[in-house]
Structure 1
Amino acid sequence: MGKLFEPVSGLLTVPYEPNEKSELRENPPRFTWMPAKSEDDRYFLQISSSEGFESDSTEQIGPLPYNFYTPNHVFESGTYYWRYALAEEDGTALQSDWSEVRSCFVPEHLPSTPLPARETRYADTNASHSRLWLQPDRIEALRVRIREDVSVCGWDVFYEKSVRPWMERELIAEPERYPDNKRVAKLWRKMYMDCQETLYAIRHLSVAGVLLEDEDILIQAKRWLLHVVSWDPRGTTSRDYNDEAAFRIAGAVAWGYDWLHGILSEEERSAVRANLLIRTEQVAHHVIDRSRIHRVPYDSHAVRSLSSVLVPACIAMLHEEPKAREWLDYTLEYYACLYSPWGGQDGGWAEGPMYWTTGLAYLIDAFNLIRQYVGIDLFQRPFFERTGDFPLYVHSPDTVRASFGDQSTLGEPPSLKTAYNIRQFAGLTGNGLYQWYYEQVKERDKDADTKFYNYGWWDFRFDDLIYNHDYPAVQAVVPVPESMESVKWFRDVGWVAFHRRMDDPEEHIQLIVKSSPYGSLSHSHGDQNGFLLHAYGEPLAIDSGYYVAHGSTMHRNWRRQTISKNSLLIDGQGQYAGTDKVLCKEAYGIVEEVVSKPGFASVRMNATAAYRETAPYLKRFIREVHWLDDSYAVIVDAVDLERPARVSWLMHSLHGMELKSQTFRVAGTKAELDGRFVYVSSGDMEISQHNQFTDVDPSEYEGLPSQWHLVAETNEAQSHRIVTLLVPMKRGDDKFVSYFIDDQDHGIHLYFTNENGTTRMIEVPKAY
């Protein structure tokens, strides 16, 4: 046997887990390790209650085709040891030595989430069609209910708005190539919109035709399906040419093949299935062989394609195409073990709430299909029990420009699909706060279909039909102190949210901060140690810029960069947020501590590593944010350097600010913000503001309202201490928080007193 290659896990690769430091949140543990070969790697895994791996206490699994595994049974509480080795390609023997032995402790009372073994995983699945959503017996049951009451599950609305229009529409032509095959944003968007409408036509006509047993609808559905199958699967709707278009067309063909199976001739079935197989293989090849998300998991589109393509397509072809089972196995095992690469047990999503929305929307659809057909409920994993908290606390229904990350909805309240997602988790968990969120957004968003990020991605009538059929009604619970957390820490992604009166938009204050271990990777930005403030119905300290297009100069040079954030520059340099994924992940932050008690809440964050590439002489950047008496914030910045430098304190607003001495004031239409630098160790700040988007093509924001950018610059020094007081208030209230400083000792004691006479003290170490 040869020596096993055991490379160290890198920033972008899967870790060796579980290990002695792992805190398990579900039973059984999930096992992951770095690949031992570049390709054709297969493994044996041993798990034992004995460090010596005696045969009577050891389970051997294999050969395994990938470097991850979820057991098919729960473990008794106790300590377990594990190791792995390479297997021969035929799986008959070991090819290498055993790996280093690792251990973990399985505590009692964890959620039970085993994954059935490959050999028995599909034993109870039916080889007949349909399989996507409803199987034949459930089709007949719903058919009877529709005959009795046309409004059942929202059927009447679905039929009128999402079925009938496609009876009259002309067939959509196969998309044309880009000029010189170079992607153009406008044509790219038209292409995927055309493909989304094609999905609507095929899926909705097929479902309606079968449920109503309506020959005219079925004829039209078949006409659309065969038309799309005539498109070149290796052409403009292939995965490599436009993956968004490919995802939609593969989904359309899968639904059409499955639901229209009974009215297609054998020749037509073969043609449709062959087309679907090609399209599915393109996606599977990219995910498994190119992107290799089981080794390097940080590829948003590849991960999303599991749910948007591989799940529906492989279910539709299971028992008919051998590769479908292989790809579906990979998908289920990935979801059971490695998902989500963007968050952990707290339910956070490092890329922000908009990519939580897109990622979870397709995943919800896929998990519902898996649960209904395969009988595996992946929603039982702890992440899905908690992830509804993420939009609730960091993307509240009444807020705008008050959350981090890429957002196609930038400047608008949460999208309706975000609300539909969180309603799904209300149905799964019974959490009434999630239902309240859904109802609030639904009430506000009356014209969802007019927005490309809705209509180009999903149909809410179809969502309603499925949800109303599959899930119970949940009673909304209003978010008052008794029902929610006033301070919410998402440890997995490094976000912390402070809230006051979420139940009333006119009284609500939301302050969120971020210092993330994901750095500026993917759809995250260079905003470690940043903050955002929304109060009394209006954004005050904003995430600045506009959504133009991914890859635009606004996106690359402004939105992703620290210059657009409420954080710091060192000698004019922000955090690394370029194109090197390794450097993006290395430009991370850490939330070191969160404290919450009546009248006083605080977070301490460390973003030193985020400037390692751009300002390597930075020794330390610690930011403490204190939220006091649910009414004002004190921000304490501590910056230490190897040589003297200037620090720029940044804040952004929708409104021009009134600047006086060491103060700034934002006056909005509903709310105001009084800001003042109450202590700066290097002397008075030089304060200015401007309304330009630096290094951005002016044509990208022509005609859009100005935004204002505060820059407060220190004198040059090797150490800096900056204490900033932020007091949000309703427009015209003109309240203030008084303060004084006691600096007789080695520390600086700052005392703040609000309008109710309550005084709080914050201690700041001196800069020496």
Structure 2
Amino acid sequence: MKSSKRPLLRAAWLLLLPLCGMAQADWVQSSEALAVRPLPDNMQSQPQNPPTFTWSRHATLPSAYVVQVMQGSVVYKTFNTSRNWYLPPNSFPAGSYTWRVRPSTSQEWSSPRNFVISSNSQLFEVPENATLRNTILKKSRPRALPSGTKLFSAWTSAMRTDRTPALNGMTGEVKYNMTALKTVADSEWPLVSTGVRTAALVAQEVSIMSRVNPNARQLEAAALMYRLTGEKIYLDEAIRRGDQFSALNLAGPTSFVNQDMASRVMAQSLIRAVDTLGSALVVNGDATRRNKWLSVVSARTNALYKDLSANGGRLDQYPYDSHAATSMAYLTLTSTLALGDIPEAQTWFDFSFRAFASSFSIWSGPEGGFANGTAYGEYEADFALQIWPALAQATGVNMFDKPWSRGFAQFFMHFLPPGQQTHVFGDGHERAPEYRFMKGFASRYATPQAAWYVKNLTRPDDVLATLQSPYPMPVNTVTAAATPPANAAYYPSIGWTAMHSNLADSGRTSLYFKSSPYGSFNHSHGDQNGFVLFSGGVPLLTETGWYDWYDSPLWNSWYRPSKSHNALTFDGGIGQNVAGYEEPLARNGRITAFSTTPAVDYVEGDATLAYAGLLKSAVRKIWYVRGTNTAVILDQFSSATPRVFEWNFHGFAPIVADSAGKISVTNQGRSVCIVPLTTTAQRFERRVGPPPQAGTYEDHGVFVKAAAAISGEFLTVLDVGCKNTAVRLDTSGGLRKVIVGTQTLTLPLPK
């Protein structure tokens, strides 16, 4: 992930605001694309009860705000807050509400906004800070582990049956790493950051994380094994790993300035070890080691807090920062476990906990999903498994109960079903999923859908996360039959759809489509109206390139642009706008229609804005005909100036054009034939991309219109399995129909 590029611009904006005169009429709605949006709004039924209220800061930068919630003409509640968000500690009765907000220093109320609490709104209450702190301080250590965590010798027979495999796995891992895993030292990394991201500096940053992460896991795992077994070898190993972190130079290569991700990991692993080991770190009344570890936690976490609390809490106003959002999670857990031992921890906690708990991820709406792509969704699941269970044990607030979190689990079921070989959309799309994280996340839900997903993921559980969790796992309490979610799904806030032939079938066809309001912002790509196709988990029509590092030459020239995706380009590969920092968020796509029936799924996307004014329209329509396992794709486009339009497609296996003009891709015994139903002259061409990642293969093809034009269309059929499905175009009677087998699809006429 990557930190924001705009801290200086943001600081300048904040300094200039008082000079701007009167605020705009509805001041809570900022004109900046990256600013927080006023919510809830538009009479939307709230998935979460109570909802979080958010708004953009007032130009006078007041120290406090007043939030007023109305039922009809009656004031239901009035809240006071020092931040530009507020999460009420208690739920609302079902009904319709209106809310508005003003600075505490004036009567300049915002425009009223409406929302609904329905019977379907899920309860998620977070007490105020003082109440939370009292709960935490009353809990005996280890706070991060389930209450009453016992030695293995005291486990029940049922728990032994369930958890012994994880304990054996953890035993083997920790003992192996006692000798195989080298401790870290400052001397390994000679470079110092100058603020310029060079390839050498990036390589060092990666090296630091590749060394710190396993050492942090070893520290936490050894401490846990000592707690579960009482064996001194694990205490000695935990002390050795903790001492290595406490010996590092706080201003050296692993400092917050030079590698903030490593710094936050070490602070969290040290405080977790302090929490887990408890009095074992104090020998004959000597707390020198414990105090040293705590001083390192304090120094590293103060640097993290200073960064996040800048400008009154920089994420409050500018939440679209994936890196900082993850840092907020680390700050939340570290402060929770440090309360009572580090004086500054109360300040950290009061700043972070309710802010973290109040918001669903900025990368989707409350229905779940992850606009940055499933690879970064996987990383989010990993972070959640490291942090959320410990927070639940210490505070009683379970982040897995948030409506967003439940939707996030189902998002994985739809876009990373069991057996799929790669991720989809965004940075890291070419990588193989590490299913233990998705399995661990889904295990926290007692639903038939979660039971289906977990049952069909053959990857072993993460043994550390399992042993840190309460017994039994929620998914193991499901008595109903394991059942997958629906075969088709639409996630409106991220603009993604999934269309499966049969989600329960491991040989399923999976067709994914994206036209996202997030555009190519952050870790997303210039692939609005793009699609990817799998058969039996095998990628057939794919995205290409590989993620070497964020903002690399390859990332900018090939990996993100439209020409490396199954998307529309023109005039030799010109595609959607992916340049700049803020602009790609506004240069976006949107799904304008979606429907699903047992026979046909349909989605329509409009990517016009993504082309940054170069096109007048760019609309893609896809019909997935389930009975014949066939997709029909219609692209219609127009431009103010004549252009030669191109329909790009790619594979991880050769794109074969035989003597009869039949075009196909066959990968691992799975195939698709790409059949153009031409309405105007076009030709097939091969394109050349940069060398693929070592050990992989990529091929690139494109249908190119024969001549430049101001408008046109591509009409293409994907015959999965190359079954020679009967497909014909019927234009009789002034209508246009595509007959696929026995299914008739009515298409719009050419424009």
Conserved? CA contact 1:28–1:112, under 8 Å: yes
Task: Spell out, residue by residue over 1:197-248, the C-alpha distance to the aligned partner (whole angstroms, 9 max, x if none).
Answer: 2212321222222333334432442233233212122322122211221132
Distance in 1 separating the partners of 2:669 and 2:579:
39
Match for 1:326: what amino acid? T
- Shift in CA distance, 3/82, structure 1 to aligned 2, threshold 3 Å: farther
Aligned positions of 1:403-422 closer than 5 A: 403-407=424-428, 410=430, 412=432, 414-421=433-440
Residue 13 of structure 2: aligned partner: none
Asked if the contact 1:685–1:712 (Cα under 8 Å) also holds between the matched residues in 2, the reply is yes
Cα offsets for 1:627-675 (capped at 9, x unmatched) = 1134101101111222322210111012333336775222334122222
Query: Partner of 1:550 in structure 2?
Result: 550
The CA deviation at 1:544 is 1.4
Change over 3 Å in CA distance of 1:194–1:706 after alignment to 2: closer
1:327-379 superposed Cα distances (whole Å, 9 cap, x missing partner) = 22333322333221011232211011111111122123322112111111232
Cα 1:129–1:477 change in 2 (3 A) is closer
How far has the Cα of 1:492 moved from its partner? 1.7
Asked whether 1:302 is paired with 2:324, we answer yes
Farther-moved stretch of structure 1 (203-212 vs 652-661): 652-661
1:153 match:
163
Q: Which residue of 1 aligns with 2:207?
A: 190
In the other structure, the counterpart of 2:622 is: 625
The AA in structure 2 aligned to 1:224 is R
**Deviation by residue 1:389-436 (Cα, 9 ceiling, x = unmatched):** 21211122222346211117x253x21334333xx33432x2333333
2 CA distance for matches of 1:243 and 1:537? 36
Partner of residue 431, structure 1:
447
- Superposed, 1:129-528 pairs within 5 Å as 130-134=141-145, 138-140=148-150, 144-145=154-155, 153-154=163-164, 156-168=167-179, 171-174=183-186, 176-179=188-191, 181=193, 183-262=200-279, 263-264=281-282, 265-289=286-310, 292-307=314-329, 309-401=330-422, 403-407=424-428, 410=430, 412=432, 414-421=433-440, 424-428=441-445, 430-443=446-459, 460-467=462-469, 469=471, 471-472=473-474, 474=476, 483-505=484-506, 507-528=507-528
- 1:355 is paired with a residue of what secondary structure? helix
Q: Does 1:706 align with 2:717?
A: no
Deviations 1:599-633 (A, max 9, x none): 22211111011001xxx241111110011134101
Where structure 1 has 5 or more consecutive residues not aligned to the other structure, the ranges are 88-93, 446-458
Q: Deviations over 1:280-320 (max 9, x none)?
A: 1222222231781221111111111222x213311221133
Q: Which residue number in structure 2 is paired with residue 668 of structure 1?
A: 667
CA drift of 1:472 comes to 4.2
Amino acid at match of 1:189: V
How has the CA–CA distance of structure 1 residues 679 and 750 changed in structure 2, closer, same or farther, with 3 Å as cutoff? farther
- 1:727-759 CA-to-partner distances (Å, cap 9, x unmatched) read 011xxx6423231321552x4x133242xxx14
Q: Give the C-alpha shift of residue 38 in structure 1.
A: 7.8
- Cα pair 1:434 1:476 within 8 Å, conserved: no
2:738 to 737, 751, 754: 751
Q: TM-score, normalised by structure 2?
A: 0.88
- Work out whether 1:70 is the aligned partner of 2:87: yes
- In 1, Cα distance between equivalents of 2:59 and 2:187: 40
The CA distance in 1 between the partners of 2:126 and 2:502, in whole Å, is 42
1:527-571 superposed Cα distances (whole Å, 9 cap, x missing partner): 000111112453221111233333333322211110111010033
> SS state of the match for residue 136, structure 2?
coil
DSSP 3-state at the match of 1:572: coil
Q: Distance in 1 between matches of 2:143 and 2:132?
A: 17
For residue 195 of structure 1, what is the amino acid of its counterpart?
V
Partner of 2:77: 59
Paired AA for residue 484 in structure 1: P
In 2, the alpha carbon distance for the partners of 1:180 and 1:332 equals: 33
Matched to 1:173, the amino acid is: A
Does residue 569 (structure 1) correspond to residue 569 (structure 2)? The answer is yes
* Match in the other structure for 1:117: 128
TM superposition shift of 1:28: 1.7
Task: Give the length in aligned residue pairs.
Answer: 714
**Which residue does 1:761 correspond to in 2?**
745
In 2, the alpha carbon distance for the partners of 1:77 and 1:366 equals 32
Structure 2 residue 638 is the aligned partner of structure 1 residue 640: yes
- CA distance in structure 1 between the aligned counterparts of 2:205 and 2:423, rounded to whole angstroms: 29
Whichever residue aligns with residue 376 of structure 1, its letter is: V
Q: Return closer, same or farther for 1:11/1:175 CA change in 2, 3 Å cut-off.
A: farther
1:69-102 residue CA offsets vs partner (Å, 9 max, x unmatched): 1101122233333333334xxxxxx356444443
- CA–CA distance in 2 between the matches of 1:752 and 1:252? 60
How far apart are the structure 2 equivalents of 1:15 and 1:589? Answer: 19
In structure 2, the residue matched to 1:739 is: 728
* Compared CA separation, residues 129 and 170, structure 1 to 2 (3 A): farther
Q: Distance in 1 between matches of 2:121 and 2:218?
A: 44
Q: Distance in 2 between matches of 1:259 and 1:370?
A: 14
In 1: Cα distance, 2:340 partner to 2:536 partner: 57
Change (3 A) 1:577 1:282: farther
**Residues 132, 255 of structure 1: 8 Å contact kept:** no
Of 318-327 and 655-664, deviating more is 655-664
Conserved? CA contact 2:49–2:123, under 8 Å: yes
Q: Which amino acid aligns with 2:258?
A: Y
Cα separation, partners in 2 of 1:576 and 1:289, compared to 1, 3 Å: farther
Task: Report the AA paired with residue 102 of structure 1.
Answer: R
Aligned partners of 1:121, 1:596: CA distance in 2, in Å? Answer: 45
Measure the CA separation in 2 of the matches of 1:477 and 1:487. 25
In structure 2, the partner of 1:607 is 607
Confirm or deny that 1:685 pairs with 2:682. yes
Q: Relative to structure 1, is the Cα distance of residues 367 and 538 closer, same or farther in structure 2, using a 3 angstrom cutoff?
A: closer
Q: State the alpha-carbon separation in 2 of the partners of residues 148 and 531 from structure 1.
A: 46
CA deviations over 1:138-189 (Å, ceiling 9, x no partner): 1347662289987762354144223323544664323544436455343322
Distance change (3 Å), C-alpha of 1:604 and 1:159: closer
Q: What's 1:580 paired with?
A: 580
Q: 1:180 to 1:274 in 2, by over 3 A?
A: closer
- Asked if structure 2 preserves the Cα contact closer than 8 Å seen for 1:401 and 1:544, the reply is no
C-alpha RMSD of the superposition: 3.1
- Aligned mates of 1:469, 1:156 — CA distance in 2: 13
Alpha-carbon distance in structure 2 between the residues aligned to 1:227 and 1:617: 56
Task: Check if 1:728 corresponds to 2:720.
Answer: yes
Q: Distance in 2 between matches of 1:718 and 1:311?
A: 54
In structure 1, distance between residues paired with 2:225 and 2:484: 41
Is the CA contact 1:31–1:337 (under 8 Å) kept in the aligned structure 2? Answer: no
Cα distance in 2, alignment partners of residues 45 and 295 from structure 1: 17
User: Structure 2: which 5+ residue stretches go unaligned?
Assistant: 1-17
Aligned to 1:450: none
Preserved CA contact (<8 Å) 2:142 2:278: no
**Any conservation in 1 of the 2:453–2:484 contact (CA below 8 Å)?**
no
Q: Give the letter for the 1:32 counterpart.
A: T
Letter in 2 for 1:742: T
Letter aligned with residue 689 of structure 1:
R
Amino acid in structure 2 at the alignment position of 1:301: H
Is 1:34 aligned to 2:86, yes or no?
no
Structure 1 residues 646 and 583: alpha-carbon distance in aligned structure 2, compared to 1, 3 A threshold: same
Using the size of structure 1 for normalisation, the TM-score is: 0.86
Q: Which amino acid aligns with 1:509?
A: T
CA spacing shift, 1:4–1:271, aligned 2, 3 Å: farther
Distance 1:223 1:533 in 2: 49
Percent sequence identity over aligned pairs: 20
